[in-house]
């Protein structure tokens, strides 16, 4: 018995690590800072521990559930792509039944957090789940799937704002501008990331801008998306009455976006990975720190 307990603990830790890798928990760095930015703007400072915890919990549950659902419905496609064949489901490291149960738990937990926040969040929670889960099917019928992913993550600042205000009014233009910034930021870097699978997508009958237009033309579209991001961030700062710290952060974001387009090379997957993750990881945190400086000091 004493030997079985450590073995069970090791198995649990191993499965937990595989699950966290499956849902790419580290990529929460993309959406969470924008949600917190809107949260602190809506509260004009610290929103309170309870609301802070519920918003973070809701976002983590929604994102983890959406990622697991994506892995589940794309498992057969992933198995046929050399880059993704080693993922947990096609490699048999986790079962589809486990992944499905994980999605259900995450979705129910998201709805529970929404209920605990306010009535508006509860009413909108099915819409948010439909958008975030529905993205997994987008590549099957539209090359604009990158924009759908952008909408899925762009919900986060709007949801955080509703968590504080509990209503939609004229001030909702502030998180609306942030949502537009997130939409085109995410769509742009997803186009960059998708360049490495352009040929595989064509072979599998999946849709993306790189597979439809070719990587070179798709990257030009991504640059246009990121130009909209910078404009939307400036608009959000103007609507919220933010000052120098915000504009410095936006300038840093613009530099990072330009840098990732200089780094991105469809012929070199390692350069695409650097452009996708490393240069985008600091975008949300930089803006959130700027709001902390503006509203909490």
Domains detected in the chain: 27-296 (1.10.357.140)
Mean pLDDT throughout 104-118? 97
Is the per-residue pLDDT at 4 higher than 60?
no
Is the per-residue pLDDT at 189 higher than 80?
yes
Give me the pLDDT at residue 264, please: 79
Asked if residue 77 lies in contact with residue 206, where contact means CB atoms within 8 angstroms, the answer is yes
Is the per-residue pLDDT at 272 higher than 70?
no
Banded model confidence at residue 1, pLDDT cuts 50, 70, 90? very low
Q: Which residues contact 280 (CB under 8 A, 6 or more apart)?
A: 30, 185, 189, 256, 260
Q: Any idea which of 38-47, 58-67, 80-89, 244-253 has the lowest mean pLDDT?
A: 80-89
- Taking alpha carbons only, the member of 231, 234, 191 closest to residue 215 is 191
Tokens at 276, concatenated: 């996708």
Tokens at 135, concatenated: 């993205």
Give me the pLDDT at residue 251, please: 98
Where is mean pLDDT largest: 5-14, 75-84, 275-284? 75-84
Give me the pLDDT at residue 185, please: 97
Is the per-residue pLDDT at 267 higher than 80?
no
Banded model confidence at residue 16, pLDDT cuts 50, 70, 90? confident
DSSP code per residue over 70-89: HHHHTHHHHHTSTTTTTSTT
Give me the pLDDT at residue 5, please: 52
* Between 27 and 291, residue with greater pLDDT: 291
On average, the pLDDT of the chain sits at 91
């Amino acid at each position: 018995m004493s030997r079985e307990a450590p073995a069970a603990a090791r198995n649990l830790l191993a499965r937990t690590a595989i699950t966290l890798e499956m849902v790419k928990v580290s990529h929460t760095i993309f959406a969470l800072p924008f949600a917190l930015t809107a949260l602190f703007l809506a509260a004009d400072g610290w929103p309170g521990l309870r609301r802070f915890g519920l918003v973070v919990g809701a976002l983590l549950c929604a994102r983890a559930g959406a990622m697991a659902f994506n892995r589940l419905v794309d498992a057969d496609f992933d198995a046929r792509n050399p880059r993704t064949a080693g993922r947990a489901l096609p490699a048999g490291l986790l079962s589809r039944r486990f992944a499905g149960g994980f999605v259900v738990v995450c979705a129910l937990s998201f709805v529970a957090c929404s209920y605990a926040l306010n009535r508006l969040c509860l009413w909108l929670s099915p819409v948010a789940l439909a958008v975030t889960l529905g993205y997994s099917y987008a590549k099957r019928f539209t090359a604009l799937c990158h924009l759908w992913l952008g909408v899925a993550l762009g919900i986060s600042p709007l949801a955080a704002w509703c968590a504080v205000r509990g209503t939609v009014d004229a001030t909702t233009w502030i998180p609306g501008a942030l949502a537009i910034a997130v939409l085109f930021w995410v769509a742009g870097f997803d186009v960059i990331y998708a360049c490495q699978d352009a040929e595989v997508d064509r072979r599998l009958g999946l849709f993306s801008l790189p597979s439809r237009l070719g990587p070179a033309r798709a990257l030009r579209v991504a640059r246009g998306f990121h130009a909209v991001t910078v404009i939307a961030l400036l608009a959000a700062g103007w609507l919220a009455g933010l000052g120098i710290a915000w504009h410095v952060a936006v300038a840093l974001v613009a530099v990072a976006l330009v840098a990732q387009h200089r780094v991105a090379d469809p012929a070199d997957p390692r350069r695409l990975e650097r452009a996708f993750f490393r240069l985008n990881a600091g975008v949300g945190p930089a803006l959130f720190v700027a709001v902390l400086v503006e509203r909490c000091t």
